Structure 1
Amino acid sequence: MSRIIVLGGTGYAGSAIVAEAAARGHEVTSFSRTLPEQQTPGVTYVQGDATDTTALARVVDGADAVVGALAPRGALAEDFRHVYASIARIADAAGVPLHVVGGYSSLRPAPGAPRFVTDLSHAPAEFHAELTTVSALVSDDLPATPESLDWVFVSPAGRFGAHAPGERLGRYRVGDDVALHPEDGGEISGADYAIGFVDLIEQAEHHRAHLNLAY
């Protein structure tokens, strides 16, 4: 089994990925600013600041995969892209693949079309800055990293989040940077996104790629 480090492992997507990876027998470490009241058995929880590059390097040391599940809000509202630049450098130096939890607005409606983020009329105004910041990771920052960094940016279907947790169905589809339209009219639950995400880590078939998961 692999040693998987989840940065932001107590958030909505991060905690689901932590639980799924641990259930499969992986050695999982969750790194976050605060510790959860309910902890997943067998998971190592490390409390730390993602802006602390020394702490990041320490927790990444010896990892087989690093998951970035940080959100551009709160303490990271201003430093989000800078923090991910540090994570990318640390992962690259360690020779560890980086898998990033992305956003729906980073996707395209059709091959070669502008990303949804170019027209955010589909989202409340208070979320526009966050959506733009996350999208910049896959449009600008990750592609600009050295070719030696193996990264995968994984967007969920629309309306993904704690406000619409859904049920664990045990299925999903994988697409590229063009948004998949859910076949049953639904989105994807946190649990099923985590199943697909951990499958992508284990299969290691995609490299420096933007993918999306949906039903």
Structure 2
Amino acid sequence: MSRITVIGGTGYAGSAIVAEAAARGHQVTAFSRSAPDAPVQGVTYVQGDAADETALSEVVAGADVVVGALAPRGPLTGSYRDVYRTIGSLAAAQKAPLFIVGGFSSLRPAAGAPRFVTDLSHAPAEYHQEMITVAALVVDDLPATPETLDWVFVSPAGQFGSHSPGERRGEYRIGDDVAVQPDGGGAISGADYALGVVDLIEKGDRHRAHVNLAY
């Protein structure tokens, strides 16, 4: 079993990944600003600031896999990409693959087509900057990292989120950077997104890749 550190491990996606990985017997550390409402048995919870490089280095040290489940809001509004650059450097030094919880807008409706992020007229304006910031990770930042960083950017379906938690069905479909549900109306529950992420971790067959999960 692997030692998995989940940064942002008490948020919506992060907590689901923590629960799924722990249920499979992995040794899980969840790092976040807040303590969990319902701690998962056997998980080590560490409170700290993701913008604190020292705190990050302590939880990444010894990890076999690092998962980033952060959002570009609140304290990370202006530093989200910089924080991920730090996480990437620490993961590379540890020789641990980095799996990042992405967003739907970084996907394409068809092969070779512009990414959804190039036209956000379908989304409320208050979310545009967050979408642009998250997409920038896989459009600009991750491809520019040294080959020593093995990363997988995992975009969910368009309706993924705490506003639509859904139920565990024990299934999902996986695609590359072309959306499995290109109309944006697709969904996947937090539990099944986590199922897909931990499957990707265990299979270890995607490298420096953008994938997406949906029903």
Give the counterpart letter for 1:75 in structure 2.
P
Rounded Cα–Cα distance in structure 2 between residues aligned with 1:56 and 1:106: 26
Rounded Cα–Cα distance in structure 2 between residues aligned with 1:186 and 1:180: 8
Q: Does structure 1 retain, via aligned residues, the 8 Å contact 2:158–2:186?
A: no
Secondary structure in structure 2 of the residue aligned to 1:122: coil
Q: Does structure 1 retain, via aligned residues, the 8 Å contact 2:159–2:186?
A: no
Deviations 1:178-198, CA, capped at 9 Å, x for gaps: 00028xx75111100000000
Structure 1 residue aligned with 2:145: 145
TM-score by length of 1: 0.97
1:208 to 2:190 alignment: no
Structure 2: stretches of 5+ with no match in the other structure:
none
Structure 1 runs of 4+ off > 3 angstroms?
Answer: none
Give the counterpart letter for 2:164 in structure 1.
A
Structure 2 residue aligned with 1:158: 158
Give the counterpart letter for 2:103 in structure 1.
G
Q: Within 5 A, what are the aligned runs for 1:49-198?
A: 49-181=49-181, 186-198=186-198
Rounded Cα–Cα distance in structure 1 between residues aligned with 2:116 and 2:75: 26
Give the counterpart letter for 1:155 in structure 2.
S
Rounded Cα–Cα distance in structure 1 between residues aligned with 2:181 and 2:11: 25
Structure 1: stretches of 5+ with no match in the other structure:
none
Worse-matched range after superposition: 30-39 or 194-203: 30-39
TM-score by length of 2: 0.97
Rounded Cα–Cα distance in structure 2 between residues aligned with 1:181 and 1:156: 10
1:41 to 2:37 alignment: no
Aligned-pair identity in percent equals 72
Number of aligned positions between the proteins: 213
RMSD of equivalent CA atoms: 1.0
Deviations 1:94-138, CA, capped at 9 Å, x for gaps: 111000000000000111111100000121100001000000000
Shift of 1:41: 0.8
Deviations 1:10-68, CA, capped at 9 Å, x for gaps: 11000000000000000000000111121111110000110111111111011010000
1:5 to 2:17 alignment: no
Secondary structure in structure 2 of the residue aligned to 1:153: strand
Rounded Cα–Cα distance in structure 2 between residues aligned with 1:186 and 1:112: 21
Rounded Cα–Cα distance in structure 1 between residues aligned with 2:192 and 2:58: 30
Rounded Cα–Cα distance in structure 1 between residues aligned with 2:59 and 2:186: 37
Deviations 1:63-105, CA, capped at 9 Å, x for gaps: 0100000000000000000000000111111111000000000
